[in-house]
Amino acid sequence: MTPQTAEEPCVSSTNSKVDPIPNGMHTVTPHLVCAGAAAAIEFYKNAFGAVEIWRMPMPGVEKIMHAQIRIGDSTIMLVDEVPEWTCKGPNTLGGTPVTIHLQVEDADALFAQAVAAGATVKMPVADMFWGDRYGLVIDPCGHQWSIATHVRDVTPEEMVKAMGKMDCQGA
């Protein structure tokens, strides 16, 4: 099979036209490396109401080569950590600089659900100057999740003024 060019339509092995962006996928999709991807999927189900779409096990070992879950209207892909392939999760790397953001109807309820499922509180839910109730948790694999509900509209000018009143010493 030759590589597809921008001018050529995507076609399947039966030469029928296929959608280059599959149903349910968005332009940006997180792909998480998890030490214990099967347990991570169960955590995401309990913590965030995730629905498992499918999983593909690695041959000969009890690890997941690829899996997809859906949280709300968004797909998240997962793979088991395999350090010998330089595929390492945040706990192995000593943390993550990335936050996965969940915009939900009730941040307080989902935050409590995530903590009950085993997430660690990094920042309790509170009213923020940008108009959201917002909190941060760390999942058992080390991924950081922000959970927010928009509660009031704030202009950019109001945000800048409110941010100016914050004490950012030590940030």
Through-space distance between the first and last CA atoms of the chain, rounded to whole angstroms:
52
The answer to whether 44 touches 53, Cβ cutoff 8 Å, is: no
Q: Which helix (H) or strand (E) holds 120?
A: strand 120-127
Check residue 155 and give its pLDDT: 96
The answer to whether 68 touches 56, Cβ cutoff 8 Å, is: no
Over the chain, what is the mean pLDDT?
A: 90
Alpha carbon 74 to its chain's center? 9
Q: Report domain extents, the chain.
A: 31-164
The answer to whether 155 touches 133, Cβ cutoff 8 Å, is: no
- The fraction of the chain above a pLDDT of 70, given in percent, is 89
Distance CA 130, CA 113 (A): 24
Pick from 21-25, 105-109, 148-152: least confident: 21-25
Structure-model confidence comparison of residues 169 and 127, the more confident one: 127
Write out the two tokens for 41. Answer: 């999927």
Distance CA 74, CA 82 (A): 25
Its CATH class, for the domain covering 31-164, is: alpha beta
Average pLDDT over residues 66-72: 97
Name the residue among 85, 98, 83, 84 with its Cα closest to residue 32: 98
| pTM of the predicted model as reported, rounded to 2 decimal places | 0.86
CA distances in angstroms from 158 to 50, 162, 165, 169, listed in the order given = 35, 6, 11, 21
Distance CA 33, CA 105 (A): 27
Distance CA 61, CA 55 (A): 14
Asked if pLDDT for residue 2 goes beyond 60, the answer is no
Average pLDDT over residues 100-117: 98
